């Protein structure tokens, strides 16, 4: 629809305290061309989205955005006492208003200005598909697992996942001209993700999503904007905007990184060779003995030429060094890399590590039988509400079932919960880590999970993915022999997710992973337990 406007952000820069997060970033999102914003944890994706959505003001830069914009935060902050019903009603209100107003204007078409008002309202109603709003609201609530939440509950009482799904249902219902979503798939099951993907693909307006979900990015996005320093095209100053799918983008990015490393290494070699050449040649000039009287004629004729040639060579080498130093190829940034095994070997002498019989947690989980033997890796799947997290909590001992038998015979159980919250947001990651572990544990800086510059910042200001990396660090440093991971790929970058997957494959201990991540599930080599909604 031609009335739809692009979103254009130019030269965005933003710092938190003395930390420069974004510097000179541009973002163009055209209607009908969904843009995926990607990059390592903490690179500034959420910050950029808040700036373009107008949630926060940038230090500098300009944003032109459609005024009708829907924004979904990475973790929703609960509004004061709004109920679930009120949130959905608020999303529907402008659409109902538009339909009512159209009917009213249709009866007043003879009055001055009414025809224009009618045309404008009609266009708005068409763009927002206002006549379909009630059906959309119902469908979104059902597909996103919101319809079974008691509508009189307040948003503050909901879990983080439920809050996100409710907010998403509201955005889908309202169908704004511009949608800005920060990691929308983290709390969704397969059906919900498919529903969201279809909605975004069919939306005529502007779509901007930050995500680490590879399958989702592939299915939805037409353009990828990478905030990493090592983005595609960095070697040829090609910018960070790529038109095309995410998987092909990743291939281009990997190739660009290889070219960058090669170009950097070549320049370093050239510089080293030129410096040696300049030094040794210069020494030749200095060491050239002064001419003796009898030599004068021949020296002037021959030696003078030699000296001049040597000086020219030195000058030439120095000039080439100066040119290279004026345009140095920057060193490719070190990549973070998980460098610690995830589990220790089970020493209970084989046998069953986990054994459950007729376990029931009312409204949350029912399971007749589960046996996991030492060293076994089990993936737990199932739709929203099927009890994946509850199962992990039962096994970890955090939740006692109302009935049934639970036997767990691990020496050290490590649980990564779905939502991570650290008490004391002013403490640094190093303090949090050291407090959580016994003396003598491997230092946090050795794990390759957080960059050194983040280790002394308050943990409360780290990005959500970085906080999750810290939780993972504490977990693996505790050397569990039974590892329980609840949605481990949520919020963490694709690089770490792949490393985690590989590390899991090598882990000698017993592992249970609850995940809805389609990419992880497709590649899972171990056993699978599928939970159904009870
Ligand atoms: N309110 C804040 N105060 C101080 N620093 C902040 C604040 N919000 C974000 N930051 C910092 O800005 C950087 C970027 O954070 P941001 O949340 O934008 O990253 P991200 O790319 O979305 O990461 P993730 O993949 O983990 O979601 C991080 O280093 C973070 O610590
Ligand atoms: Mg983020």
Arithmetic mean of pLDDT, 399-412:
95
242 - beta bridge partners? Answer: 224
Laid out side by side, the sheet with 482-486 consists of 413-416, 482-486, 510-514, 377-381, 527-530
Nearest-angstrom CA–CA distance, 411 and 474: 17
Q: Is the pLDDT of residue 291 over 60?
A: no
pLDDT confidence tier of residue 216, bands split at 50, 70 and 90: very high
CA of 430 to the centre of ligand 1 (A): 18
Lowest mean pLDDT: which of 163-177, 293-307, 395-409, 432-446? 293-307
The average confidence (pLDDT) of the chain is: 88
467 lines ligand 1 (CB under 6 A): no
pLDDT confidence tier of residue 111, bands split at 50, 70 and 90: confident
Arithmetic mean of pLDDT, 127-141:
94
Q: Pick from 434, 506, 510: which is nearest to 473 by CA?
A: 434
Those residues whose beta carbon sits under 5 angstroms from the ion ligand 2 are 45-46, 74
Arithmetic mean of pLDDT, 218-244:
77
Q: Is the pLDDT of residue 288 over 60?
A: no
- Shortest-distance ligand to the CA of residue 463: 1
Model confidence over 177-212: pLDDT tens digits?
Answer: 999 999 999 889 889 999 999 999 999 999 999 999
- Shortest-distance ligand to the CA of residue 38: 1
Nearest-angstrom CA–CA distance, 451 and 325: 28
266: DSSP letter: H
User: What angle in degrees, to the nearest 10, is found between the helix axes of 464-477 and 429-436?
Assistant: 30
414 lines ligand 1 (CB under 6 A): no
Lowest mean pLDDT: which of 162-166, 229-233, 490-494? 229-233
154: DSSP letter: B
Arithmetic mean of pLDDT, 201-224:
95
Fold exhibited by the domain 352-530: Rossmann fold (3.40.50)
97: DSSP letter: H
Lowest mean pLDDT: which of 224-233, 241-250, 308-317, 348-357? 224-233
Burial environment of residue 43 by CB neighbours within 10 A (0 to 12, 13 to 18, 19 or more): buried
pLDDT, residue 298, reads: 61
Residue of 14, 47, 56, 459 with the most ligand 1 atoms within 8 Å of its CB, for mutation: 47
Residue of 13, 27, 46, 75 with the most ligand 1 atoms within 8 Å of its CB, for mutation: 46
CA of 453 to the centre of ligand 1 (A): 13
% of the chain exceeding 90 in pLDDT: 56
Q: Which atom of ligand 1 is nearest to the CA of 454?
A: 29
pLDDT, residue 237, reads: 46
Q: Is the pLDDT of residue 416 over 90?
A: yes
Residue of 14, 15, 19, 21 with the most ligand 1 atoms within 8 Å of its CB, for mutation: 21
Angle value at C-alpha 37, between 36 and 41, nearest 5 degrees: 135
Model confidence over 461-507: pLDDT tens digits?
Answer: 999 999 999 999 999 999 899 999 999 999 998 888 888 888 888 88
Arithmetic mean of pLDDT, 54-80:
90
- Shortest-distance ligand to the CA of residue 43: 1
Q: Which atom of ligand 1 is nearest to the CA of 467?
A: 26
The pTM of this model reads 0.85
- Shortest-distance ligand to the CA of residue 45: 1
Q: Is the pLDDT of residue 43 over 70?
A: yes
Residue of 44, 50, 75, 182 with the most ligand 1 atoms within 8 Å of its CB, for mutation: 44
CA of 429 to the centre of ligand 2 (A): 18
- Shortest-distance ligand to the CA of residue 19: 1
Q: Is the pLDDT of residue 415 over 80?
A: yes
466 lines ligand 1 (CB under 6 A): yes
Which CATH architecture is the domain 1-68+177-229 placed in? 3-Layer(aba) Sandwich (3.40)
Q: Is the pLDDT of residue 127 over 60?
A: yes
């Amino acid at each position: 629809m031609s009335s739809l406007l692009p979103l254009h952000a130019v030269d965005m820069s933003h710092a938190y305290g003395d930390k420069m997060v974004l510097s000179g970033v541009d973002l163009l999102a055209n209607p009908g061309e969904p843009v995926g914003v990607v990059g390592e944890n903490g690179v500034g994706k959420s910050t950029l989205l808040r700036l373009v959505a107008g949630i926060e003001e940038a230090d500098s830069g300009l944003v032109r955005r459609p005024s009708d914009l829907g924004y979904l935060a990475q973790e929703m902050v609960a509004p004061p006492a709004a109920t679930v019903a009120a949130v959905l009603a608020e999303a529907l209100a402008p659409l109902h208003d538009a339909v009512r107003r159209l009917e009213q204007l249709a009866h007043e078409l003879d009055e001055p200005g009414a025809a224009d008002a009618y045309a404008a309202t009609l266009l708005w109603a068409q763009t927002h598909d206002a006549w379909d709003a009630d059906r959309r609201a119902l469908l979104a609530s059902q597909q996103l697992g919101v319809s079974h939440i008691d509508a009189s509950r307040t948003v503050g009482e909901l879990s983080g996942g439920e809050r996100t799904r409710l907010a998403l249902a509201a955005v889908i219902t309202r169908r704004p001209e511009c949608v800005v979503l920060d990691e929308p798939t983290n709390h969704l099951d397969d059906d919900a993700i498919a529903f969201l993907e279809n909605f975004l693909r069919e939306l005529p307006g502007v779509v901007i999503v930050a995500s680490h979900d590879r399958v989702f990015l592939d299915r939805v996005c037409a353009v990828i904007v990478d905030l990493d320093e090592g983005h595609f095209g960095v070697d040829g100053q090609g910018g960070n905007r790529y038109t095309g799918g995410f998987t092909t983008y990743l291939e281009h990015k990997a190739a660009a990184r290889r070219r960058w490393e090669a170009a950097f290494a070549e320049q370093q070699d050239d510089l080293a060779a030129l410096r040696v050449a300049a030094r040794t040649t210069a020494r030749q000039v200095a060491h050239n003995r002064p001419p003796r009287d009898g030599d004068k004629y021949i020296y002037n004729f021959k030696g003078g030429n030699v000296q001049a040639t040597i000086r020219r060579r030195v000058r030439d080498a120095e000039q080439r060094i100066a040119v290279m130093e004026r345009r140095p190829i920057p060193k490719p940034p070190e990549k973070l890399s998980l460098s610690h095994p995830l589990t220790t070997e089970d020493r209970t002498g084989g046998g069953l590590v986990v054994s459950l019989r007729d376990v029931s947690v009312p409204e949350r989980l029912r399971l007749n039988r589960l046996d996991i033997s030492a060293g076994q890796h089990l993936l737990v799947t199932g739709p929203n509400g099927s009890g994946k997290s509850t199962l992990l909590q039962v096994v970890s001992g955090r939740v006692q079932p109302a009935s049934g038998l639970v036997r767990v015979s691990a020496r050290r159980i490590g649980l990564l919960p779905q939502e991570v919250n650290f008490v004391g947001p002013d403490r640094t990651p190093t303090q949090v880590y050291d407090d959580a572990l016994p003396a003598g544990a491997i230092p946090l800086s050795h794990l390759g999970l957080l960059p050194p510059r983040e280790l002394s910042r308050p943990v409360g200001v780290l990005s959500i993915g970085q906080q999750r990396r810290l939780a993972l660090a504490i977990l693996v440093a505790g050397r569990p022999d039974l590892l329980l991971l609840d949605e481990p790929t949520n919020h963490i970058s694709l690089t770490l997710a792949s490393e985690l997957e590989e590390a899991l494959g090598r882990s000698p201990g017993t592992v249970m992973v609850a995940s809805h991540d389609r990419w992880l599930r497709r590649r899972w080599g171990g056993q699978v337990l599928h939970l159904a909604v009870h």
